[in-house]
Structure 1
């Protein structure tokens, strides 16, 4: 019986500094597909030098960009890896073992999140970070929805057991300022999604979400175990939907697309 073929999919924009290490960690796959959105640096050359198939274009929506990558993959299974992530050797082995025997359509993959040199295990919640992502899927089982930031997913088939060996090593933020810049960037994109949907929610509702999400991050997800970093994560997790709403409400002319 022929072993299932695995495609590694990397979607990026101007990531020449981080792309080499990312691609090196994906070398265990049968093919690597790199989708570059409006990149103006050496990302395309770097990907081609390492034998990857490169798809270049311009997409306003993250969902459309990622779906283009899924369509370009020819493997039986697809592992999605962001440019700021690395596939650990243990995860690579676990992915190979999983697709060799799985009868399911998709599997969750564990994530180790780093802020600078620090591994932050607790406090990730909501749309600001997670310790598990549905990144391993059969070809055709997964479609991203038409949204700019953290698009939703539509699935065909059943979820399989979560992979527990190894992790995607996620270099999520360089420092505190980088984390706050990410909050600003993500909330601007989410504000555009809210305006496009015609429903930006209410101030009262988003104030409640601020409290509930911050509580989930700090208490339910044990962010308190990270000390001051846990407080920062709780703030950002709660602030994301509230700041998105405020941008859409106060500056619709700036964030409407």
Structure 2
């Protein structure tokens, strides 16, 4: 029997972690890497596993994600974020795939349903939002990229039909909190690349990128069909680009 390990890194995710871990409580092994949480994240994790590791809350998230998958013992690894949950359909498909995998397949993409303020967003480019999360041990690594780290697979990749449930923004306050975190991270990435505020960068981040992203998601990809949550998602993309520039500008003034 092939074994499945689940790896999760978390920082102050007590609110989400319980439902995430409940959705994968059937896994053979659960690894939780706690990154200096000051809420009940560790206590929640202990309800489901004793394999809890403490790490610094590093800005380069790929380091802690790589550490997490490095602690696993299973033949296959499922990486999850704390605000994600595995659906029953995906559970059954994962169990089938790891026991009877195609010989050349070392990783699987899975669709993801993104929920804003409790609503699943079907439009605006939000679905199927396929994520590479299931992979054979020793055949994957996290690349060092800004904000959302990409997994590189050594071998072929297939796509599952079962889906992840994703609850990134349950409230406006949660959205604003993560907006600050992600824009800080992106500004650090741009700073390290030597990007400085100038007329070209201002045009790109204040007008071109936010304007084209909003138009594409809200109108061309029909984001307006998701009502106010759909509008919020598109405005979130727009504001992210604008805040990135103004944070760069603010740094330059100091």
Common fold: TM-score over 0.5 = yes
Task: Summarize the Cα distance change of 1:52–1:132 in structure 2 as closer, same or farther, 3 Å threshold.
Answer: farther
Q: How far apart are residue 11 of structure 1 and its match?
A: 1.1
Q: How far apart are residue 136 of structure 1 and its match?
A: 1.0
- TM (norm. structure 2) is 0.86
Bigger shift: residues 65-74 or 205-214? 205-214
Which position in structure 2 is the counterpart of 1:222?
Answer: 222
Asked if the contact 1:217–1:233 (Cα under 8 Å) also holds between the matched residues in 2, the reply is: no
**SS of equivalent to 1:241:** helix
Give yes or no for the alignment of 1:68 onto 2:64: no
Please show how residues 31-110 of structure 1 align to structure 2 within 5 Å.
31-58=29-56, 59-99=58-98, 100-102=100-102, 103-110=104-111
Please show how residues 141-160 of structure 1 align to structure 2 within 5 Å.
141-147=139-145, 149-160=147-158
How many residues get paired? 247
**SS of equivalent to 1:17:** helix
Please show how residues 1-257 of structure 1 align to structure 2 within 5 Å.
3-58=1-56, 59-99=58-98, 100-102=100-102, 103-124=104-125, 131-147=129-145, 149-160=147-158, 162-165=159-162, 167-199=163-195, 202-206=201-205, 207-252=207-252
**SS of equivalent to 2:111:** strand
Asked if the contact 1:124–1:233 (Cα under 8 Å) also holds between the matched residues in 2, the reply is: no
Q: How far apart are residue 212 of structure 1 and its match?
A: 2.1
Structure 2: 5+ residue stretches without partners: none
Asked if the contact 1:63–1:148 (Cα under 8 Å) also holds between the matched residues in 2, the reply is: no
**SS of equivalent to 1:198:** coil
Task: Summarize the Cα distance change of 1:178–1:42 in structure 2 as closer, same or farther, 3 Å threshold.
Answer: closer
Rounded Cα–Cα distance in structure 1 between residues aligned with 2:165 and 2:23: 10
Q: How far apart are residue 148 of structure 1 and its match?
A: 5.2
Cα deviations by residue, 1:64-111 (Å, 9 ceiling, x for unpaired): 111111111111211111111111111111111222223312111111
- Runs of 4+ aligned residues of structure 1 deviating over 6 Å after TM superposition are none
Rounded Cα–Cα distance in structure 2 between residues aligned with 1:47 and 1:13: 12
Task: Summarize the Cα distance change of 1:13–1:46 in structure 2 as closer, same or farther, 3 Å threshold.
Answer: same
RMSD (CA atoms): 2.3
Asked if the contact 2:108–2:134 (Cα under 8 Å) also holds between the matched residues in 1, the reply is: yes
**SS of equivalent to 2:26:** coil
- TM (norm. structure 1) is 0.85
Rounded Cα–Cα distance in structure 1 between residues aligned with 2:227 and 2:43: 42
Cα deviations by residue, 1:125-177 (Å, 9 ceiling, x for unpaired): 5xxx97221111111232223345213443322221x2112x21111211334
